[in-house]
Amino acid sequence: MEKFLARRLYGRDEGVKGGSRPAIIIATAGIAVGLMVMILTMSVTRGFKCQIRDKVMGFSQHITVTNTYVGMGIIEDPVTCTDSAFKALSNLELVKRVQPFVNKPCIVRTDEAFHGFMLKGIDANYDRTFLNQYMLEGGFPELQDSLGSNWIILSRTIADMLGLEVGSKADVYFMQNQVRIRRLTVTGIYETGFLEYDRMFGVSELALLQRLNEWTPDEYTGLEIRLKDYQRIDDGYSQVRGVMNELESINDEDYLVQTMYDTHSGLFAWLDVLDLNVWIILALMLGIAGFTMISGLLIIIFERTATIGTLKSMGASNSTVRKVFLRLASYIIIKGMAIGNVVGIVICFVQQWFHIIPLDPANYYLDSVPMQIGLGWLIILNVVMFILSMLMMLIPSAVISRIVPSKSIRFE
């Protein structure tokens, strides 16, 4: 009986009069808008965290190993890593890849301008997937290329600043005890949209920078370590730290082992603040949706006072009548959630594909609003919202027990 009556109250074929139909529409819209905003909030936050995390990992991987005194002079103290050390690190349970790098500050001067940045040296075995993904023009030279080690890859930001393009010759100045100059050929231009890195990093041959520093082939600025599962980064850190502790006594060096959360603590702290904002927005949207639902159901109950009185006079209990209106509320909630899901998901996919809403990379590290839909959190969000909305409907439905049949029928 509850199901039949609820459908009659909700259905359009009854010719609903008064405020019931507008109340149902407003309540449905409140649920739809609330859920849509929740979906957009969650997807934007997850998109920010995932894209920024992926770009940080692309530049520096999950764990880096450097000398404790890195950055103390013009030429940094190197990390010594022999083949046996590479093997020891590579054999760790959680380690997927170990790759050396050399960082060296430089200044590139052209007829138009000059700019200082960090030149990162990598070897032929370096995983170039990340940079290739964001390569706009050209790319890495082939191993048999006649350029040898005299090549450089710049970001679009630096290239535009200096007026360089693929194929241009660039005079690169290295500050040491005496200034050293190398003429390098621009073989590629990349753009990640992560302006903090784009304007500060170029890429060149590891061996070139080793020779400039007068280092041996086993000496590097540091090691980048990629884990099989970044969510176990603390366990990976412990394993790497254990190996480096053994190497400290062998090489008589002090090693600094840092996770990406250590080297970019300010950035990840900013992302953590986003999580707090998400909870605040979710609570506000749930409150707004609940308020519209409570208001709408109260209007329907007050307008159907005579119907409630008639049902009670025919022997229906308060519990039965409350179930009728709770079922009516469930129809409104389900319809509103369906609309909210469709609209929210469509907006997310449109933004993912077409990047309609732009961002300033200088402030947000990305050039457009990122959105990422996840089936798991989407289901949880829908289930939680439905349960909490139904619980809030217990408040207006309690009014039914106060309605006296004799008075309500006489009032009609």
Q: How far apart are CA 98 and CA 186, in angstroms?
A: 27
Output the CA–CA distances (angstroms, integers) from residue 94 to 62, 294, 339, 361, in the order listed: 11, 52, 44, 33
Predicted local distance difference test score (pLDDT) of residue 17: 47
Predicted local distance difference test score (pLDDT) of residue 406: 56
Which strand (E) or helix (H) includes residue 181? strand 180-190
Output the CA–CA distances (angstroms, integers) from residue 146 to 41, 56, 171, in the order listed: 51, 32, 18
Predicted local distance difference test score (pLDDT) of residue 112: 80
Neighbouring-strand partners of residue 119: 104, 202
Output the CA–CA distances (angstroms, integers) from residue 323 to 139, 328, 354, in the order listed: 67, 8, 46
How far out from the chain centre does Cα 69 lie?
33
* Residue 240 contacts residue 95 (beta carbons within 8 Å): yes
Residues whose CB falls within 8 Å of the CB of residue 314, separated by 6 or more in sequence, listed in order: none
pLDDT tens series, the chain, 412 aa? 566 666 666 664 344 444 467 888 888 899 999 999 999 999 999 998 888 888 888 888 999 999 887 654 555 688 999 899 999 999 999 999 999 999 999 999 888 889 999 999 999 889 999 999 999 999 998 754 656 688 999 999 999 999 999 999 999 999 877 889 999 999 999 998 888 889 999 999 999 999 999 999 999 999 999 999 988 999 999 999 999 999 888 888 889 999 999 988 888 888 888 888 888 888 888 888 888 888 888 887 777 777 777 777 777 777 777 888 888 888 889 999 999 999 999 999 999 999 899 988 777 778 889 999 989 999 999 999 999 988 888 888 787 767 766 555 554 4
- Give me the half-sphere count of Cα atoms (radius 13 Å) on the Cβ side of residue 118: 16
* Residue 12 contacts residue 335 (beta carbons within 8 Å): no
Please tell me the pTM assigned to this model: 0.78
Predicted local distance difference test score (pLDDT) of residue 361: 78
Kindly state the tokens that stand for 61: 């991987």
Q: Tell me how far apart the 2 most distant CA atoms of the chain are, in Å.
A: 103
Q: What is the pLDDT of residues 131-168, one digit of tens each?
A: 999 999 999 987 546 566 889 999 999 999 999 999 99
Q: How far apart are CA 339 and CA 333, in angstroms?
A: 10
Predicted local distance difference test score (pLDDT) of residue 13: 39
User: Nearest-CA neighbor of 99 among 142, 68, 130, 76?
Assistant: 130
Q: What is the 3-state secondary structure (H, E, C) of 54-119?
A: HHHHHHHCCEEEEECCCCCCCCCCCEECCHHHHHHHHCCCCEEEEEEEEEEEEEEECCCCEEEEEE
Sign of CA dihedral 43, 44, 46, 51: positive
